[in-house]
Amino acid sequence: MIASKSSDCSPSRSQRRALETLLHINQFISATLDLDEVLRRLITELVPLLSAQSASVIFYDDATAEAELVTSYGADDSFHSLRYPLTGSLAGWVAEHKQPLRVFRLTLEEWPTSWQLGEQFGAPPAHVSVLLAPLWVQKKVVGCLEVVWDP
């Protein structure tokens, strides 16, 4: 008889942490109908899980072609109900292409509109890394989740 070594299929520490966070998110989503509270708590949980600098939820206003930052947590959590044009912005790219966008190093040369917008609101991007994921509701992109890291 040949003995076989069994492989350890238990989740790693980071996998357990992610699963616990997802369970926690599921519990508070199920416990309230207050969208602002759900969004706030979602990004509050995601920032430490992803070791991010900050996160924001951005909704699109089709009538005005603007993005509205509805909630944020972390470095830029002082911005609430901030509105800006979608054209030329990172959120505008996600709105147009309907897919995630990862920018490994936000630069003035590549994303001048987003860079200038940050400076205009007193928060220059300082060469951050950004990931934006579209938020879908009934087969329509209604906004995006933005997560920011130091590169």
Tens of pLDDT, residue by residue over 64-81, are 999 988 877 775 555 566
Q: What was the pLDDT predicted at 141?
A: 92
Predicted confidence at residue 128, as pLDDT, reads 83
Tens digit of pLDDT for each residue in 1-48?
444 444 556 778 877 877 776 676 666 566 767 777 778 888 888 888
Whether residue 144 has pLDDT greater than 90: yes
Q: How far, in Å, CA of 25 to CA of 27, rounded?
A: 5
Q: Are 149 and 74 in contact (CB under 8 A)?
A: no
* pLDDT at 4 (0 to 100): 45
Query: Which pLDDT value is given to residue 44?
Result: 84
Taking the C-alpha atoms of residue 28 and residue 39, their distance in angstroms, rounded to an integer, is 10
Question: CA of 146: how far to CAs of 11, 16, 70, 73, 76, in Å?
Answer: 27, 24, 11, 11, 12
CA distances from 112 to 19, 70, 119, 124, 145 (A): 38, 23, 11, 11, 21
Domains in the chain: ranges and CATH: 52-149 (3.30.450.40)
